Amino acid sequence: MLDEGCEELSFPQLLPTGQFGFDRHRKVHLTPKKYFNARILNKTGVFAKNIEYLFFAQYVTEYKQIMDSISIAVRKAYSHSSGEAVNVGMLKDPVRLQSLIMKDKAYRFLQTIRGTPPYWQKAMYKLLAAVKQLGIFTFFVTLSAADMKWTDTIIVITRQQGKSMSKEEVGKLTWEEKCGILRSNPVTAARHFDHRLQCLFRDVILSNAEPLGKITHYSYRIEFQQRGSPHAHCVLWVDNAPNPDTPVKDLVKFIDKYITCSIPSAKRHPEFHNLVKSVQFHNHTATCKKKGTQCRFNYPKPPSSETIIAQPSDFHNPNEAKLALESAAFIKSSVIEKLETKDYTSLNHLLKDSNISPQEYKSALELSKRGKLIIYKRNPTEIQINSYNKHLLRAWEANLDVQYCLDPYACIAYMVAYITKDEREMSQILQAVSNEANTLDFKSSMKKCASAFLNAREVSAQEAVYRLLSFPLFKSNFSTVYVPADRPEKRICLLKPISSVKDKEDEDEDVYQTSILDRYAARPTKLENLCLAKFSIWYTYDNSKKSESCENDIESAEDSTPSTTITLKNELGQMRKTRKPAILKYHKYSELKEKEDYCYSQLLLYMPWRNEHEDLNKFDMYEELYDNVFDIIDSNRQDLEHHADIIEEALDQFESVGPPEHSWDTIAPQVEQENAEQSKEGAIEDENFSILNTEDKQKKRKNLSYVTLFL
């Protein structure tokens, strides 16, 4: 696919002169990314309409990105090589250089390639670090696409095709006709969703109207459904939000302010009434049934005259607790069964006909099997309505789900799992390929993993557009900074490029890129008592003053505008203080199993030092120094790591047992139901591409992945 002139030969209808492909030699060099962006966004739209071309462009672009990542990965080395000082001569010798290179899991170099399992794993750890520092997030929001109902998307695509349609005409189109229009231009469909999402955050969620409160931090991930359309999973931190220990009365008041399950009046708000009924109403399908009878999405929900925080019983006797749970389950099931026989508008009438008193019913709702649970206020006519926010639904005009994060363990155990959702299968493939390639040299093993990723993943047309045009698959409004807090002999450093050291003497030991540790050691005297952790989150390298690259992984944020500049010692340039601190990331060692490594990392991060070797080696054991300066370390650590113990425990549980079974059915029921239905239906091949899988080959390729077109 990457032979010279392959683009011109593969797409003669798009490049009829057989010239000007991505690999053409130009006076002004164009990267594949810039080249294909220009092609896809061309005004004529001929490239954007060609699905094969989209996949071709995505493959070539990601191949180039992967090769660049490999070039960086082979420059990562341990800072010490068997106790021997590393010098320029070792970098010039290919054999000795190979012994220096960090030989880790070969697939981890894919962290910088958007959409890969290592990329999502890195995103997950970024979010975990944010929770440690910022505390538990407040809301979890899922936003689905309604490309069949968003008339403006259909109108824009048809306008690009030279047609003019009104909303009324779009409304008369059949489902198949709308599918055909969306399939004809996945680029515009994907761009429309991204634009709509950015507008929702900018003009609604983050606006002064504060429909979900004052949002201080947020993060979201884009996921693609079985039919290929995107949807967003978001986590939001709200200023002055109640925590799980807040009195129940105040907590319920906060939840009711922002989340509802009500159906608006058809007389006073007819349009909004129809919107809620059409996008928030759960309709049972074959995919709902779990073990044949119960809806896996837990619909219908129990009606309640008020929002209730259900909790486990406080009975010390197991038998009494079991009886209480059985009694509560019987009461709730009796009410639901009565609802199936007759339509009720009043909860009091329903309870009266069920021979259950209001107090008995409330007591039953207040009891949960394990953990805390929110029972939202809803009357008997709203038992199929998914929870939502009124202002967000009016603006988004598609299904959405809003959940208040009630329990810290639930937040981390399965809500954070949304980051790595649906990537486990690909992770297993990459791990298997990496294990098979362990006999190859490091660079060859990375190329084998790259080939496995590029050829073994099923991608929809809209996802290809997202990755090709660099639309955000994961976005947050906070920065992160990674600090290598390992002991020197275990620390990974970035070697300078061979081109920058080839003219130096072989004995020269200046072979590593300047790191955040080097800059901290060179901080001005006025910051003498500032620890490394706080220095890292508040100061970022000023690239405008000096072009030397920085090793630490600082990701940009929208509002980290610099306000103060400091000059480093030893001519290491300048750094700027940001208005908003970044989120600290570092490798966390076990305090019980890796005591010395743990103590060293905590000393390095939270005890002010000037010379790492001298200041951290005052005792025979790092544990002795750690105990000696514990008060200083603990004071600095408490400023940065909120709920760290809870997060670590929950993370251990997540890594050992994974998220709770069917957890997604509770968090985002509508999205999961659609995915289940589309998965059951299966992919439908486009007749224009049926030649790719002729009947003779279909049986042989039944279990192999092939190009399939999605909306």
Q: Is the pLDDT of residue 288 over 70?
A: yes
Buried b (16+ CB within 10 A) or exposed e, 432-457: ebbeebeeeebbebbbbbbebbeeeb
The Cα–Cα gap between 8 and 110 comes to 29
The Cα–Cα gap between 475 and 217 comes to 11
The Cα–Cα gap between 63 and 454 comes to 8
Give the count of alpha carbons within 13 A of 244, CB side only.
19
**The two three-digit tokens of residue 601, written as one number:** 């990392």
Residue whose pair of structure tokens reads 């059949």 in the numeric block: 174
Q: Is the pLDDT of residue 22 over 50?
A: yes
Mean pLDDT of 665-671: 56
pLDDT at 710: 33
DSSP string, 345-409: S-HHHHHHHTT--HHHHHHHHTB-SSS-EEE--B-GGGTTBPPB-HHHHHHH-S-EEEEE---HH
E strand or H helix at 666: helix 663-667
Residues 6+ apart with CB under 8 A from 639: 534
Mean pLDDT of 583-610: 94
- Structure-derived torsion over alpha carbons of residues 202, 208, 212, 213, reported in degrees to the nearest 10: 130
Mean pLDDT of 676-696: 50
pLDDT interval class at 450 (50, 70, 90): low
The DSSP bridge pattern shows strands 480-482 and 583-585 to be parallel
| More confident position, 672 or 340 | 340
E strand or H helix at 605: helix 595-606
**The two three-digit tokens of residue 220, written as one number:** 């979201």
Q: Is the pLDDT of residue 82 over 70?
A: no
Longest Cα–Cα distance in the chain = 92
Mean pLDDT of 168-188: 91
Give the count of alpha carbons within 13 A of 100, CB side only.
29
> Residue 262, Cβ neighbours under 10 Å: how many?
15
Q: Is the pLDDT of residue 643 over 60?
A: yes
Q: Is the pLDDT of residue 77 over 70?
A: no
pLDDT interval class at 541 (50, 70, 90): confident
Mean pLDDT of 34-57: 92
The Cα–Cα gap between 232 and 143 comes to 5
What integer best gives the mean pLDDT of the chain?
Answer: 81
pLDDT at 67: 76
Q: Is the pLDDT of residue 409 over 80?
A: no
pLDDT at 78: 55
Taking only the tens place, the pLDDT of each residue in 339-392 is 888 889 999 999 999 999 999 999 999 998 877 889 999 999 999 999 999 999
- Structure-derived torsion over alpha carbons of residues 638, 641, 645, 650, reported in degrees to the nearest 10: 170
What sign for the dihedral angle of Cα 668, 670, 671, 673?
A: positive
Q: Is the pLDDT of residue 512 over 50?
A: yes
The backbone torsions φ and ψ at residue 149, rounded to the nearest 5 degrees and listed phi first, read -105, -15
pLDDT at 315: 81
Q: Of 173-177, 366-370, 442-446, which gets the smallest average pLDDT?
A: 442-446
Name which of 550, 446, 514, 448 is nearest 71 in CA terms: 446
> Are the beta carbons of 330 and 363 closer than 8 angstroms?
no
Q: Is the pLDDT of residue 501 over 60?
A: yes
The Cα–Cα gap between 100 and 94 comes to 10
Q: Is the pLDDT of residue 293 over 90?
A: no
pLDDT at 420: 61
pLDDT interval class at 548 (50, 70, 90): very low
Q: How much of the chain exceeds pLDDT 90, in percent?
A: 47
What sign for the dihedral angle of Cα 530, 532, 538, 544?
A: positive
Q: Of 118-122, 234-238, 478-482, 654-658, which gets the smallest average pLDDT?
A: 654-658
- SS3 string, 147-194, reads CCCCHHHHHHHHHHCCCCCCHHHHHCCCHHHHHHHHHHCHHHHHHHHH
pLDDT at 703: 35
Mean pLDDT of 140-167: 91
pLDDT at 81: 46
Mean pLDDT of 432-450: 62
The Cα–Cα gap between 427 and 436 comes to 14
Taking only the tens place, the pLDDT of each residue in 622-638 is 999 999 999 999 999 98
pLDDT at 428: 59
Amino acid at 69: S
User: Of 66-80, 170-184, 203-217, 323-337, which one has max mean pLDDT?
Assistant: 203-217
pLDDT interval class at 34 (50, 70, 90): very high
